[in-house]
Amino acid sequence: MTRWSTPINKKGNRREAALHSISNSKSRKANCKHLQEMEGSSSSKHFILVHGFGQGAWCWYKVVTMLRSEGHRVTALDLAASGVHPARIDEVNSFEEYSQPLLDAVAAAPAGERLVLVGHSFGGLSLSLAMERFPDKIAAAVFVAACMPCVGKHIGITTEVLMMEKSPKDLLMDSKMIPINNKQGPGTAILMGPNFLAERGYARSPAEDRTLAISLARPGSQFMDDPIMKDDKLLTVANYGSVKRVYLIAKEDFNVELLHSMVALSPGTEVEEIAGADHSVMSSKPRELSDILAKIGSKYD
């Protein structure tokens, strides 16, 4: 199947088109605004949506539309080497570089603007980094069937231990392992397979959304050997622990037990459940997700 983006190949019209789409941005701050930020909103709350592994800003299209139609300010970001971001995954040398578009967006938020960060799946780890760096800018962080690390443990534990112990042995199914090499040395990227996406990610989502995901998925890295993933002092009570956290459990997630394990590691986290939602909640239950996000936005200052 032809994919929308071929990030391992340095050439190709589609990569050139992606580069051209971003080339007019004069700064990282301008690029953050370019990435689907609503214009002309007077809302004091600003939702920043962060996609999961191998996905992109495109996966939020239903939720972005719903929230904006109700007057909310929304930005859906492409993390590095994701969506239409021009980098290839083997050009991203660290988890911090991967998360930089989110860190830039939060840093650029003007004084007085209160952010609600929303992370799906692997995107929860990028949320945790932003929460630690900028706790005063964030009204609440929402983890949507997401990796949610806890204070006192390294953030890589969510993939290193929990997924190995609580996920099916054939978790990755037909996904492809792609050798890469960057400044940290040789590694492996993962390109999620069509069967994996259909059965694990989008099982209860509309067929059109499954097709979209299969077409647009890009290789991603879990950055398992990155020192930041192994630092058990990275997340602090004073910063990360001070941000209000809400965890959204997709009740039809292929591994709902893992989601409950995330919550158990962080007592005091507010929990919402969405019945009938598969792992890709923004696709299978966008209306319910949008309503919960709007409620959270009005609840936390």
Cβ 73 vs Cβ 141: under 8 Å:
no
Q: Is 195 helix (H, G, I), strand (E, B) or coil?
A: helix
> Phi and psi (nearest 5°) for 170?
-100, 35
Catalytic residue (choose from 82, 99, 121, 205): 121
Residue 232 appears among annotated catalytic residues: no
Q: What are the tokens at 189?
A: 């990227």
Catalytic residue (choose from 253, 280, 284, 290): 253
Render the burial of 95-112: b for 16+ CB within 10 Å, e for the rest.
Answer: bbbbbbbbbbbbebbeee
Rg for the chain, CA atoms, rounded: 18
Handedness of CA 141, 59, 121, 223 (dihedral sign): negative
Q: What are the tokens at 95?
A: 């988890």
Cβ 119 vs Cβ 142: under 8 Å:
yes
Catalytic residue (choose from 46, 51, 120, 279): 279
Cβ 249 vs Cβ 276: under 8 Å:
no
Cβ 79 vs Cβ 57: under 8 Å:
no
Residue 27 appears among annotated catalytic residues: no
Q: What are the tokens at 110?
A: 């003007």
Residue 50 β-bridge partners: 77, 119
Integer Cα distance of 188 and 191 in angstroms? 10
Q: What are the tokens at 276?
A: 């009938």
Residue 43 appears among annotated catalytic residues: no
- Length of the chain counted residue by residue: 301
Catalytic residue IDs: 121, 253, 279
